[in-house]
Amino acid sequence: MQEYPSLKQTEFYFFRNLIKDTAGISLDSSKKRLVESRVLGLLKRKKIPNFDAYIEFLKTHPNEIDDFVNAMTTNLTSFFRENSHFDHLTQHLTKNLRGRTINVWSAACSKGHEAYSLMMILEDLFEVHTDLSYRLLATDINTDVLNKASRAVYSEDEIKDIPRDKLKKFFDMNQNKKEFRIKPFYQSKVKFRQFNLLHPQYSIPLEFDIIFLRNVLIYFNEEDRIQVTNSLVDKLKPSGLMYLGHSESVAELRSRCQIVGNSVFQKIK
């Protein structure tokens, strides 16, 4: 079995700067072992002998940077994660958004769990309020997780937090492989695309009633957090809602939004 040398500080700085420049993710020195572990997986898969050789490989093959970004981005997620947000959303929509099309954006959708959770909430409301329709956009910078989301196939462990009535309604089961797939009709309700939240000019023509931006700001430095959140507030309609992760808070939002729930911000008219 091949042995790989440890990651040098200069090599760590290269990878840290590359993920910052490419995806806006800020990593301090405490993340060196994390970077080493994830890049090591790439070395083994690509049969590259050491970290320095991989750096030269990236410099001469810029099309491989997406693969590096995919390996470095964290994608811990689950269906109906931080469930109080979905309860809040249901109550808000029931009271406030009847008789028109609403636009919803899952801005860091990862493997699709959040986006499909939103779809299930919206579809259930749709049955009661037949005058309500929606458009649901889901984006992420990581192409691997977007491919997983587009396939819409999940393991038995991944669907364990979905209520049984929703599981029966929205999923087909492959008994042999114990896999669960979103039914094609419902899968088509979510539009997935690659997107960098730090892109200076957003190419999304819609304004949104609801934006979920959860558990991603913790990977940005203060300057980038402010840029990202302000850019997304710009895309909110007046009185639109932005949901952040429960452990996240951006004080600067308070000049443009009011707090209406746990990590829920409503754009001031």
Alpha-carbon span 16 to 51, nearest angstrom: 13
pLDDT for the residue numbered 11:
93
Please give the sequence-ordered ranges of beta strands (E in DSSP) within the chain, or none if there are none: 101-106, 133-140, 153-155, 171-174, 179-182, 190-194, 208-213, 236-244, 257-261, 264-267
CATH class of this structure's domain 84-267: alpha beta
Looking at the structure, give the CATH architecture of the domain made up of residues 9-72: Orthogonal Bundle (1.10)
Question: Which tokens belong to 96?
Answer: 């406030």
pLDDT for the residue numbered 215:
84
Beta bridge partners of 172: 181
pLDDT for the residue numbered 1:
57
pLDDT for the residue numbered 202:
66
Nearest 5°: the CA angle 187, 214, 98 is 60
pLDDT for the residue numbered 200:
57
pLDDT tens digits, residue range 135-191?
A: 999 999 999 999 999 999 999 989 988 999 999 999 998 877 789 999 999 999 999
Mean pLDDT by runs of 10 across the 269 residues of the chain is 81 92 82 89 90 93 88 81 93 82 94 97 88 92 93 93 94 85 97 87 83 88 88 93 84 86 90
pLDDT for the residue numbered 99:
73
Question: Which tokens belong to 190?
Answer: 């979510």
Sequence ranges of the domains in the chain: 9-72, 84-267
Beta bridge partners of 244: 213
Beta bridge partners of 210: 104, 241
pLDDT for the residue numbered 201:
61
Nearest 5°: the CA angle 190, 77, 265 is 75
Q: Is 239 exposed, middle or buried (0-12, 13-18, 19+ CB in 10 A)?
A: middle
